[in-house]
Structure 1
Amino acid sequence: MKNIVLFGPPGAGKGTQAEVLKEKYQLVHISTGDVFRFNIKNQTELGMMAKDFMDKGHLVPDTVTINMLNAEVDKNPDANGFIFDGFPRTAAQAEALANLMKEKNSQINAMVALEVDDEVLVGRLLERGKSSGRADDANEAVIRERIAEYYRKTDILKEFYQADNKYHGVNGVGSVAEITARLSEVIDTL
């Protein structure tokens, strides 16, 4: 079983690569954002708990998020592995995810981070903003703050996974196929 944390700044291509890798390796892609939206839309108990915190402007506690991820993992008992996208974001969350996988007699094999120059990211996101209508991709100042926030949080996670020799930085510039090939070089060694 291969369990990967796919990481990268906004606009690095995580969503695109997650879809390609999901098919190539027959993995289950768990996007935390999608999991939240599903639980809130379907008014699950966890979704309502998360919505209550969000409506008050608070962060959703890690226990609620981990319980949602646990349910997603449990929905796929025969999976070849998982791609975690959007989680963890803190060392405490990384520890909680490690414990969750340990309970499942598994582990996180690697954190793979797409590395892309900030100016390339800004350009990609501004282009995406034109075609997607996403407000957060239309404002350069907002984009730059999102990228800065990513770096503030990533260093902690990078250190967490480096301590176990599980961190792998991959050049995220090039064609989709070129980037997939670089990611596959890492994944094939796990």
Structure 2
Amino acid sequence: MLNFVLFGPPGAGKGTQSEKLINKYQLVHISTGDLFRAHIKNQTALGKRVSKLIAEGELVPDKITIDMLEEEIDKNPTAKGFVFDGFPRTIPQAAELDKFLEEKGSKIDGVIALDVDKDELVKRVALRQKETGRLDDQAEKSQKRIDEYFNKIILVLPYYDEQKKLTKINGIGNIDDVFNNLCAVIDKY
């Protein structure tokens, strides 16, 4: 089993690159953002709780996120591996993911961080909001999410760096060039 965390701020290209990775490596993509949006769309009890938090640009509590993630992993018992997108966002989440995967006889093989500067992120998210209408991409909310990444979420990277699992790659440039750089990292495993 091959498990990777694709790490980066909103607008870094995690979703775009994840699609390409799952096609090439036959992995299951788990995006906490997509899971949250699906629960919100289906107006589940969880979706209603999460909707308010996301609309305010807040992070969903660890317990809710982890339970939902574990449920999604359990739905895919024959998966060749997973690409985690948007998770973990905190060191306790990273430790909990490690623990859960270890109980399943697996682990995180690597963490690839897409490095994109704030100015580029703002442009990308504004374009995505125009194209998709995602509420969490509206200017004020997206800026709050970008700031949240650079002020808090990025603090997870040293956790993986200490385990020698972290690789940073330039997330700016041609989509295929970024993808080829991702593949060069993954192919080492």
TM-score, scaled relative to structure 2: 0.86
- Identity, % of aligned positions: 49
**Is 2:18–2:29's contact at 8 Å kept on the other side of the alignment?**
yes
Aligned to 2:45: 48
Count of paired positions:
186
Aligned to 1:90: 90
Aligned to 2:99: 99
Change (3 A) 1:118 1:24: same
Q: What pairs with 1:97-136 in structure 2 (closer than 5 Å)?
A: 97-136=97-136
1:10 is the counterpart of 2:10: yes
Unaligned runs of 5+ in 1: none
Q: How far, CA to CA, are the matches of 1:60 and 1:130 in structure 2? A: 25
Q: How far, CA to CA, are the matches of 2:60 and 2:122 in structure 1? A: 28
1:35 is the counterpart of 2:32: no
What's the secondary structure of 1:158's corresponding residue?
helix
Q: How far, CA to CA, are the matches of 1:62 and 1:14 in structure 2? A: 21
Pairwise CA distance, 1:9:
1.1
Pairwise CA distance, 1:137:
3.4
Pairwise CA distance, 1:92:
0.4
Q: Deviations over 1:51-79 (max 9, x none)?
A: 44765888644233222211211111111
TM-score, scaled relative to structure 1: 0.86
What's the secondary structure of 1:114's corresponding residue?
strand
Q: Deviations over 1:112-154 (max 9, x none)?
A: 1111122211222222233223354342x54433222111123
**Is 1:50–1:64's contact at 8 Å kept on the other side of the alignment?**
no
Q: CA RMSD in A?
A: 2.3
Partner letter of residue 93 of structure 2? Q
